Amino acid sequence: MHKTHAALIVIDIQNDFCPGGSLAVAQGDQIIARVNAMMPEFGTVVLTQDWHPAEHSSFASQHPGSAPFSQIEMPYGSQTLWPDHCVKGTPGAEFHASLRLDAADLILRKGFRPHVDSYSAFFENDHRTSTGLAGYLTARGFTAVTLVGLATDYCVAYSALDAARLGFETKILVGATRPIDLDGSLGAALLQLKTAGVTLAD
C-alpha cells in the first residue's frame, strides 16, 4: 500500500473514553503512544471527535426510567443508551492530552445531531446521513484506510464496515484499539468485519 493512498483514521481518543472518563474504555489510553508513532507513515491523518449536545437522544439521562447500557428502539433501529459523554465544549469531549493533534489534516466531529447517534466516521446511525468523510478522502485521492482508536466494537467497527461498503481498502490495527465488549459485542463485531472483507491486523 503506497503511503500517499493510505489514510489513517483515528477514532475518538477523547477523555470520556479513556480511564477516568464517563464512558471509559479499559486501557483506552494505552494505545496512544502507538497511534502517535504511526501517524507519519500515512498520506493523511484524520481524527474523529464525538461531539454531542447535552440533550442527545442516545443518553440514558434523556429517557426517564431507562438505565445506561439498556436498549431502546429509535426510528433508525435499536439504540444502546449511554451515560452522558463527550458533551460538546466539556473537558470530557476534548482529545486526550497525549494524542498528537499537529499531525492531523482533518478533525471530524460527529454525533452533533440530537436525534440520531453516530458511531461511524462516515455515516450517522441511520446509515444515510453522511459526515462528508468519504468525499474528503476521495477528492484527495485516498483509496485505502487504516483505523485505530476507541472503541474496537463500536465506533471503530462501524467506521470500518462503512469504509469497506464504500469501496475503500479497509484495515483495522486491532492492537491499536480497545473494546467495550458489551454483552459479547466484540466477538459479534469481529465476525461482521471479517465477513465484510475488512483486514484485521495487529
Pick the closest to residue 12 from 122, 97, 86 (CA basis). 86
Phi, psi of 188 (to 5 degrees): -65, -40
Strand 144-150 vs strand 6-11: parallel, antiparallel, or unpaired? parallel
Decide if 153 contacts 17 (C-beta within 8 A).
Answer: no
86 is catalytic: no
155 is catalytic: yes
110 is catalytic: yes
Which of 50, 117, 153, 155 is an active site residue?
Answer: 155
Decide if 153 contacts 146 (C-beta within 8 A).
Answer: no
Cα-Cα-Cα-Cα dihedral sign, residues 153, 138, 96, 109: negative
Largest Cα–Cα separation, the chain: 52
Which of 110, 117, 153, 162 is an active site residue?
Answer: 110
- Residue 55 DSSP symbol: T
- Residue 34 DSSP symbol: H
- How far is CA 5 from each of CA 10, 29, 36, 126, 146, rounded to the nearest angstrom? 16, 28, 19, 29, 11
Q: What are the DSSP calls for 153-185, one per residue?
A: IIIIHHHHHHHHHTT-EEEEEEEEEE----TTH
Catalytically active residues, by annotation: 12, 110, 155
